[in-house]
Amino acid sequence: MTDAPATPPAGDTQAPVIRVLGQYVKDLSFENPNAPASLRGGGQPQIDVAVDVRAQPLEQDSYEVELILSAKADRDGASLFIGELTYGGMFLVQNMDDRARDAFLLIEGPRLLFPFARRILADATRDGGFPPLMLEPIDFAALYRQKAAQAQGGAAPESPAGNA
C-alpha cells in the first residue's frame, strides 16, 4: 500500500491539500493531592471536564492545533484528581479559503487529535490509581458554532484561525 501524494494531481492545482505533519503532547499535568486517602472507596465522584481548541499559523500553509482537555474529580468536597492535557498537532493546509481553513483547523483538526488525547488522559488517571477517565466523543462542530456565535457578539478571535 502506498501513501497518496501530498500534491494535487496534475491539472487540478486548486484541489485542497491537507496533511498531518505531526502530533505531540505539549503539556501534561496530573495531580492526586489527597493520596492515599483519595484512593479509598466512597461515593461517586463529581467529575468536571472542560475542552478548548486553539489554532495558530506556524509558517506558510502550516498550522498548529491545540486540543486542551481539563478534568477535575471531587468527592464530598475533597479533590480526588486534577488532570490537564494540551495535545498538539501540526497540519499542512493548502488551497482553502480562510473560512474553510478555519473550520478545518477548529473542527476536523481536533477531531483527528481527540482519540490520542483521550487515551493519554485515560492512562494518566489510571496510572494515578483511579479508573481510566473515558471521555465521550466531542462535537467539535457544535463547539465551533458556539464560539463563532460568541465572536459575533463582539469578542474578537485571539488568532487568525480563532479559538473554539
Q: Does some domain include residue 1? A: no
Distance CA 101, CA 36 (A): 47
- Looking at residue 163, what is its pLDDT? 39
Virtual torsion, Cα 8, 13, 14, 15, nearest 10 deg: -20
Average pLDDT on 117-140 reads: 95
Q: Is the dihedral of CA 34, 115, 141, 17 positive or negative?
A: positive
Q: Does some domain include residue 163? A: no
Percent of the chain having pLDDT more than 70?
85
At a CB cut-off of 8 Å and minimum separation 6, what does 119 contact? none
pLDDT at 150 over 90: no
Q: How many CB atoms lie within 10 A of CB 76?
A: 9
Which grid coordinates are listed for 95? 488551497
Is the pLDDT higher at 136 or at 12? 136
Tell me which H or E stretch contains 147. Answer: helix 140-152
pLDDT at 157 over 50: no
CATH number of the domain encompassing residue 120 = 3.10.420.10
Cβ atoms 108, 142 nearer than 8 A: no
- Looking at residue 35, what is its pLDDT? 87
Q: Does some domain include residue 162? A: no
pLDDT at 117 over 50: yes
Is the pLDDT higher at 115 or at 11? 115
Q: Does some domain include residue 3? A: no
Distance CA 31, CA 33 (A): 6
Which grid coordinates are listed for 142? 457544535
Q: Does some domain include residue 115? A: yes
pLDDT digits (tens, 9 = 90+) for 50-105: 999 999 999 989 999 999 999 999 998 889 999 999 999 999 999 999 999 999 99
Q: Give residue 93's domain range.
A: 17-35+44-135
Count of domains in the chain?
1
User: Which of 51, 64, 80, 61 lies closest to 24, judged by CA?
Assistant: 64
pLDDT digits (tens, 9 = 90+) for 18-52: 999 999 999 999 999 988 888 887 788 999 999 99
- Looking at residue 148, what is its pLDDT? 84
Q: How far is CA 86 from the centre of its chain?
A: 7
Distance CA 78, CA 32 (A): 11
